[in-house]
Each structure stands twice: as structure tokens, then as C-alpha cells.
Structure 1
Amino acid sequence: MEVICLHDEAFYQLIEEVVDRIKEKQNITEDKWISPERAMEILNIKSKTTLQKLRDDGSITFTQPQKKIILYDNNSILKYLNNHTKKTF
């Protein structure tokens, strides 16, 4: 049996590459459910209160698999952004 040792950084980089290859093979371009941090990044907002308002008024879809875990539907966020696109003059 062979033992391979990796530094933490190299291990996590390897994991990311494996996940990227699996997504590529399965034609998955983006995760369906994303974290609140990622949702805020896509929406370009800084406030968790604003994110909660969008969730509460039904502007974006979410799931709550556990009491303190809320995930957001990436497609609904992109749809929200597209619905609020303004045409230039």
C-alpha cells in the first residue's frame, strides 16, 4: 500500500479540480442551490436584510433544509436580474 501526503492547500485544489471535471462531464454549469453569500455576490448586495426581503416578498426562490440553513435557487436569482433589466435609450 502506498501513502500519499498532500499539504492542505494542494488537497483542496485537487478536490476543486475533481468537482470541476465532474460538472464538466455532466454539463453542469452552475449549482442549482447556492449559499446566501454567493447569492449576495451575484445580486451585488451587501446586506443580509435585503436578501431576506427578496426572499420574503417572493422575488427569489429558496429552500430551508434545516432550521439555520437557507439556500437560494440560482436560476430564480438570474431570472430576477433579467426581469429588472432596463433597456438603454
Structure 2
Amino acid sequence: MDVICLEDKAFFALVEAVVGRLKPENDTTGFKWISDVDAMHCLNIKSKTTLQKLRDEGKIRFSQPQKKIIVYDRDSIEAYLEKHAKETF
């Protein structure tokens, strides 16, 4: 077995390079359309019924590319949250 020794700076530079290469592949924050699970997580709700109510009342945008597939617009969810944000004292 070979042992490789690195200085602290070289080690952290290597780790940053690896993370930099992996991050774009696994980063879903850039997607405009998100799943119902992600939408529920963003809204901090646990019920699909509540999510459907927001959708049916036109409070958040959605797209239905296929009969059983519904995706939600991340920007409309953020706008909904901003609209209902309360200012602190």
C-alpha cells in the first residue's frame, strides 16, 4: 500500500477541485421546474392536498407535461413565499 502525504494547502485545494467538479452534476437548485416533493420541501408542507390546493387556487404555477406528471415553477413558489413574508420589528 502506498501512502501519499500532502501539505494542508495542497490537500484543501484538491478537495475544492473535486467538489467543484461534482457540484454542477448534483446541483438541482438551478432547475426552473421542480417535483412535488421538492415543492413541498420548499413550502415546508407535508400534505400533497395542500400543494394541490395552492395549485388549484392559482397561487403557484405548475406544468403537466403528462397525465400523472406535475412539476412546479420554483420562481412562483419563491414569489408566493415572499408575498406572505412578514417584516420583523
Q: TM over 0.5: same fold? A: yes
Matched, 1:17 2:22: yes
Equivalenced residues, count: 68
- The residue type paired with residue 70 of structure 1 is I
Q: TM-score, normalised by structure 1?
A: 0.69
- Tell me, which stretches of 5 or more residues in structure 2 are unaligned? 1-20
Residue aligned with 1:71, SS: strand
Identity of aligned residues (%): 60
Q: For each residue in 1:49-88, what CA deviation from the matched residue of structure 2 results, as whole angstroms up to 9, or x when unmatched?
A: 0000000000000000000000000000000000000112
- Report the Cα distance in structure 1 between the residues aligned to 2:22 and 2:73, rounded to whole angstroms: 24
Structure 1 residue ranges without an equivalent (≥5)? 1-15
4+ runs of 1 displaced by more than 4 Å? none
Q: TM-score, normalised by structure 2?
A: 0.69
One-letter identity of the residue aligned with 1:85: A
Rounded Cα–Cα distance in structure 2 between residues aligned with 1:85 and 1:68: 32
Q: Deviation of residue 47 (structure 1)?
A: 0.2
Distance 1:88 1:29 in 2: 27
The higher radius of gyration belongs to: 2
